[in-house]
Amino acid sequence: MSENLQEATKQEDREQKRPTTRKVEPIRDKRVIRETLEALSQDRSPAGERRYLLFASGIYLGRRIGDLLRLTVGDVKGQDYLEIVEEKTGKHASLAINAALKKIYKERLQNRSPEEPLFMSPVKNRRTGRPKAIDKRTALRDIKAVAKVARLPEGYRIGTHTMRKTFGYWYYKTYNDLATLMTMFNHSKAEVTLIYIGITDDQLRAAFRKTKDLYED
């Protein structure tokens, strides 16, 4: 295994806390993404609202789940930009909230207080009695619920990092701007980014499909 492949695999394994054989994938079908957003938007229960906000934030901001879960309503409500310090790296990141995501925040956060966690747990903090954010385990359950709404193929490997990978996959496919995507993800090597977002898998699968004629005259 190459050094860069090892690095990408270890990075995902650390972030997902899953065996390397369960590497999660991006959502490679734009229609599925649009239909999932639409379906999630129809569920007005507290859990449904949270899943809608979590999925939309994940695929439009491209952040790790730990960074998303630390957001408050005030961080994004009525804002054009989002400033964060990454939980994993300690590095500063300045993000623009695009028009699609701003519209979602405007519609869903108008009656919520700025100090509330953006992804609020139904259980309050035992010590303070104040609202608290969901944890990573709950976020994973939410994403598994999203996967059912999305009607992904049986066995499709999905996890909390699917949203970040989906952002990276479609940013690269749309703009072909690997250098900027590497900066967004704080990756130092192009190969790591391509492996991480699933482009290398696509290329390998395409190469294997061509082997049907390998032994023909």
pLDDT in tens, 176-212: 999 999 999 999 999 999 999 999 999 898 989 888 8
H helices of the chain, in order, are 3-16, 30-41, 46-61, 65-69, 73-76, 99-108, 136-150, 162-175, 178-185, 190-196, 199-209
* Contact between residue 139 and residue 132 where contact means Cβ atoms under 8 Å apart: no
* Contact between residue 153 and residue 159 where contact means Cβ atoms under 8 Å apart: no
pLDDT at 100 over 80: yes
Q: How far is CA 189 from the centre of its chain?
A: 20
> 110: burial class by Cβ within 10 Å (0-12, 13-18, 19+)?
exposed
Q: How far is CA 163 from the centre of its chain?
A: 2
The CATH classification of domain 3-204, taken from the options 3.40.720.10, 1.10.3720.10, 3.40.50.10420, 1.10.443.10: 1.10.443.10
Per the prediction, the chain carries an average pLDDT of 90
pLDDT band, very low/low/confident/very high, at 7 (cuts 50, 70, 90): low
Q: State the pTM of this model.
A: 0.86
Ranges 30-34, 85-89, 107-111, 152-156: which has the least confidence: 152-156
Please, what sign has the CA dihedral across residues 87, 89, 90, 94?
negative
Tell me what pLDDT residue 15 has.
Answer: 47
Tell me what pLDDT residue 154 has.
Answer: 76
Mean pLDDT calculated for residue range 46-67: 97
Tell me what pLDDT residue 22 has.
Answer: 62
Mean pLDDT calculated for residue range 49-63: 98
Q: Which residues contact 163 (CB under 8 A, 6 or more apart)?
A: 54, 55, 57, 58, 59, 62, 65, 143
Tell me what pLDDT residue 38 has.
Answer: 96
Residue at 155: amino acid letter: G
> 217: burial class by Cβ within 10 Å (0-12, 13-18, 19+)?
exposed
Percent pLDDT > 70 in the chain is 90
Tell me what pLDDT residue 168 has.
Answer: 97
In the chain, where are the structural domains located? Answer: 3-204
pLDDT at 20 over 50: no
Token digits of residue 170: 């479609």
Which active-site residues does the annotation give?
64, 88, 161, 164, 187, 196
196 compared with 21, residue with greater pLDDT: 196
* Contact between residue 111 and residue 87 where contact means Cβ atoms under 8 Å apart: no
DSSP secondary structure code for residue 216 in this structure: -
pLDDT at 25 over 80: yes
214 compared with 109, residue with greater pLDDT: 109
* Contact between residue 122 and residue 30 where contact means Cβ atoms under 8 Å apart: no
DSSP secondary structure string for all residues of 81-107: EEEEE-TTT--EEEEE--HHHHHHHHH
* Contact between residue 72 and residue 61 where contact means Cβ atoms under 8 Å apart: no
